[in-house]
Amino acid sequence: MSIEIANESGLAVDEPSIVAAARFALDRLGVSRLAELSMSLVGLEVMSDLHERWMDLPGPTDVMAFPMDELESARRPDAPDAGPALLGDIVLCPAYAKDQARQAGHSLLDELHLLTVHGVLHLLGYDHAEPAEEREMFTLQKRILADFRVAQADARRRAAQRREDDKVLGTVGLDEDTAG
């Protein structure tokens, strides 16, 4: 799965972690490994322009998703004949998300993970315009994020254990050829 990310926001964020959240969500939703996704992180001014141009709403927002509507395979995973495709673009605004994260009581990275999963769901045809759609989308979003956090914690635990094992075995700092 190809996920490209361009950070034009002027803020330093953990881009690999955001890509990992997108990849995790796409995997969970059964999207083809051949699919491509483009992500952009932009500043308030750019996001405001996009929001006004495409949604006819004033000011910036946190996330926008631009699905490739002409491609039949860029649909929800429960739609028939899902296959490889250019899924579309997700645009995140870290400066806007920063205030939301503070209000929600979690980190900016947690907020960007949430917005990434939210954007992926929109690309795949999920929406929250109607109450039933909102319940479905937000329940799925919450489940994917919870599973992603567990997977991240497991990966950190395994990496810490490998480091400890390397210390015990005296292989810290040795390359593979000399580690034996």
DSSP 12: -
What pLDDT score does 71 carry? 46
- pTM beyond 0.75: the answer is yes
Please give the domain boundaries of the chain with CATH numbers for all domains: 2-171 (3.40.390.30)
What angle, 0 to 180 degrees and rounded to 10, lies between the N-to-C axes of helices 94-104 and 44-55? 90
Cβ-contact 53, 43 below 8 angstroms: no
What pLDDT is recorded for position 27?
Answer: 95
Q: How far is CA 72 from CA 83, 90, 153, in A?
A: 9, 18, 36
Each residue's pLDDT expressed in tens, for the chain with a length of 180 residues:
899 999 999 999 999 999 999 999 999 999 988 889 999 999 999 999 999 999 999 999 999 999 985 444 445 666 655 555 789 999 999 999 999 999 999 999 999 999 999 999 999 999 999 999 999 999 999 999 999 999 999 999 998 999 898 888 887 655 555 444
Give me the phi and psi of 24, to 5 degrees please.
-60, -45
d(CA 177, CA 159): 21
